[in-house]
Structure 1
Amino acid sequence: MQFLVYILVYPFLWVISILPFRLLYVFSDCVYVLVYYIIGYRKKVVDANLKLVFPDKTDGEINHITKKFYHHLCDMFLEMIKTMTISSSELKKRFKINNPDEFKRLEALNKSIILMFGHYASWEWSIVIENYINFKGLAVYKKLANPYFDKLVRNIRSKFNTTLISTKETIAYINDLEHNNVKSITGFLSDQSPKVTSEVYWQDFMGIKVPCFTGAERIAKKLDFTTAFLKVSKVKRGYYEAEILTLAENSLGYQDYQLTDMFLREVEKQIHEAPEYYFWTHKRWKHAK
């Protein structure tokens, strides 16, 4: 059944991927009407999240952010599909790294790098980073239940030589690279909600105390990696810019959870600047205290 679903859906995805960008965004506008007005995909979750973190905003302001978010969500989903056939030159034109020399400076320290970023603007097109680094590029991701779509996602995200590693194999894989003296840059999307255990770290995020992932920080401190943050901004439809912000050249010199807190503050700044580009359909505050 999983394979049947895949072979039925794949041709449709491929056709979308070869659409010119102008037609792609016309199609996105149609998808927006379907997702927002007809299906109402996770509208209650989005509304609850926005009202929770922005208690001072009026219903009209919340509604305005919500509509802009769904427009962006549809664009981003189709942009991910577009990655199937996009060229390296086209992607570099649409996702610019404003300070690529910072990668060179950090690589010169001869330590592997943990690159943290949130579900903001476009994390899918961050694979363009491979064009600016000499270290081995890694990206941590969560496997999909359907193995055929999982392979498709891996192929899309590794198109420009990024190596995808699942959350369960991350530590072993990075340790193996270090053992063989292979320096790496590993991307972590660290703003999701982890399972709640007695050892989970709780911290304020957008004014609400929530459990937080600390895996990226733990690896950085354990292996003495450099820690950085990728700040992504949406310039206009189909165009993004990113800046590398170094959080710590010597991660060992920071107290436990300090790097995680620094990461959360950077994501908060992005959200306050333009909240419509955050991933509001995710139940980030489901365990809020």
Structure 2
Amino acid sequence: MKRLSLVLIVALLRVLSVLPYKFVARLGMVVGTVLFALPSRRKRIVLVNLGLCFPEKTSQERQTLAREHFRHVVRSYLERGIQWFGRAQAIRDIVQIESKIDLDDEAAPPTIFMGFHFVAIEVGCMLYSTHLPVASLYTRMSNTALCDLAKRQRGRFGAEMIERATSARKIVGLLRSGKPVMLAADMDHGIDNSVFVPFFGIPACTLTAVSRLARLGRARVVPFVTEVLPNYEGYKLTIFEPLVDFPSECDTVDARRMNAFLEEQIVKFPEQYYWVHRRFKHRPPGMASVY
């Protein structure tokens, strides 16, 4: 059954990859609207997250925001067709790029591109890999066949895909060799190598990998965000200035700065952040589960 499911997923994505982008995007929004109307565990997670992070909003406002988020999430799944099986030029045609740094600087220092889980993160990473060499960290999925497919398709333009559990020594070696590394550290991966720092005022289990790798690799940390543009106009990849005085000597301070930067970006388009993830899965000692 798993094999059959994978075959059907690949077939669907290949079909979607040749359909017009705006059609696929609109279809995703429609399917997302339908799925939001049905009871689901993921819908409940979204509403819990929004309730914690936006207590000032009314219940109706959070319902509206949750519905828009569901629409964007489902849309992003359907758009995997273009991202995983479309031509490189098809991706370039729908993604704008605005960079505060010179991406062609051959004398650039070791660089960590720090991403965040907005619904369009994948297409931003793939666009970058069509232009320049890069290594990208990924988290292994429980479905091995689907994980292998995702790894293969995400790296098909030359990105070196590295599992998150890989030795830090290899990642540091890549940084020191001059190859940028893309990673995202804004999800709850457990209390190991993490600290609890505020995220919209709520203690959130936050990875310290960014500052630790930057320190070991003597790397600058450059945030990037990919947003979905209105009116089905595609996406915009924004690459920011390197964070100043980062990393510091304290992982907790760095994690708080990372979350603060993320909060600033989320409020610009909150419906696009990945609220379906259990961001507060782990809680500080003595604090009850919220899910």
Q: Distance in 1 between matches of 2:29 and 2:204?
A: 34
User: Which residue does 1:154 correspond to in 2?
Assistant: 151
Deviation at 1:59, TM superposition (A): 1.1
1:200 aligns with 2:194: yes
Shift of 1:218: 0.4
Structure 1 Cα separation of the partners of residues 264 and 200 of structure 2: 9
| RMSD of aligned alpha carbons | 2.3
The Cα of 1:60 is off from its aligned counterpart by 1.4
Structure 2 residue runs of 5 or longer lacking an equivalent are 285-291
1:256 aligns with 2:256: no
Within the candidate set 123, 129, 136, 2:121 is matched to: 123
1:224 is aligned, of 218, 221, 234, to 218
Aligned residue for 1:234? Answer: 228
Matched, 1:268 2:267: no
Alpha-carbon distance, 1:35 to partner: 1.9
Q: Is the 8 A contact 2:172 2:213 kept in 1?
A: no
SS for the counterpart of 2:224 is strand
- Are the equivalent residues in 1 in contact too, given 2:66–2:271 (CA < 8 A)? yes
Contact 1:94-1:240 at 8 Å conserved across structures: yes
The AA in structure 2 aligned to 1:219 is L
The whole-number CA distance in structure 1 between the counterparts of 2:21 and 2:41 is 24
Closer/same/farther in 2, CA of residues 68 and 30 from structure 1, 3 Å limit: closer
Counterpart of 1:13 in 2: which secondary structure? helix
8 Å contact 1:224–1:250 — kept in the other structure? no
Q: Secondary structure at the match of 2:112?
A: strand
Quote the residue 1:163 is aligned against. Answer: 160
Secondary structure of 1:159 counterpart: coil
Moved more, 231-240 or 188-197: 231-240
Contact 2:195 2:255 in 1 (8 A): no
Please say if residues 190 and 282 of structure 2, whose CA atoms lie closer than 8 Å, have aligned partners that are also in contact: no
TM-score where L is the length of structure 1: 0.88
For the residue of structure 2 that corresponds to 1:247, the secondary structure is coil
Question: SS in structure 2 opposite 1:169?
Answer: coil
User: Contact (CA 8 Å) 1:114, 1:187: kept in 2 or not?
Assistant: yes
Deviation at 1:286, TM superposition (A): 2.3
Structure 1 window deviating more from structure 2 (38-47 vs 138-147): it is 38-47
Change (3 A) 1:9 1:80: closer
Give the % identical residues: 21
**Shift of the alpha carbon at 1:255?**
2.4
Post-superposition CA distance 1:20-49 (Å, at most 9, x none)? 223313431442144212353511111111
Read off the aligned partner of 1:167 and give its amino acid letter: R
- Letter matched to residue 130 of structure 1: S
The answer as to 2:142 corresponding to 1:138 is no
Q: Give the deviation of 1:169 after TM superposition.
A: 1.3
User: 1:251 Cα shift?
Assistant: 4.5
| Structure 1 unpaired stretches of 5+ | none
Counterpart of 1:75, as a letter, is R
Which of 171, 174, 197 does residue 177 from structure 1 map onto? 174
The separation in 1 between residues aligned to 2:8 and 2:92, in whole angstroms, is 31
Report the TM-score when normalising by structure 2. 0.87
Conserved 8 A contact 1:13-1:81:
yes
In the TM superposition, what is the alpha-carbon distance from 1:231 to its structure 2 partner?
A: 2.7
> How far apart are the structure 2 equivalents of 1:6 and 1:156?
14
Q: Does the CA-based 8 Å contact 2:15-2:81 persist in structure 1?
A: no
